[in-house]
A and B are shown apart, each in its own frame.
Chain A
Amino acid sequence: MINLTIDGRPVSVPKGTTVLDAAASIGINIPALCHIDLKGTCVHNAPASCRICVVEIEGRRNLAPSCATQCMEGMVVKTNSARVVRARKTVAELILSDHPNDCLTCPKCNDCELQKLVTRFNIREMPYKGEQSSRKKEQTVAITRNMDKCILCRRCESVCNNVQTVGVLGAVRRGFDTTIAPTFDRMFTETDCTYCGQCVAVCPTGALTERDNTDRLLEDLCNPDKVVVAQPAPAVRVALGEEFGMEPGTIVTGKLATALRYLGFDHVFDTDFGADLTIMEEGAEILKRLKAYLAGDKNVKLPIMTSCCPAWVNFYEHNFPDLLEYPSSAKSPAQMFGAIAKTYWAQKMGIPREKLVVVSIMPCLAKKYECERDEFKVEGNPDVDYSISTRELARLIKRSNIDFKSLPDTDFDTPMGESSGAAAIFGATGGVMEAALRTVYEVFTGRTLPRIEFNDVRGLEGIKEATIDIDGFPLKVCVAHTLGNARLLMDRLREGKLDYHVVEVMACPGGCVGGAGQPYHHGNVEILKARTRAIYREDEGKPIRKSHENPDIQKLYKDFLGEPLGERSEKLLHTHYFDKSIK
Chain B
Amino acid sequence: MRLIAERLGLERGGRRLFRDLGFALTGGEALAVTGSNGSGKTSLLRLIAGLLRPSEGRIELEGGPAERALGAAAHFVGHLDGVKAALTARENLEFMRALLGGQPGGSTALTTLGIEHLADLPAGMFSAGQKRRLALARLLIAPRPLWLLDEPLTSLDADGQAVFASLARAHLQRGGLIVAATHAPLGIDGARELKLGGGA
- A and B form one complex: no
Give the interface of A toward B (CB within 8 A): none
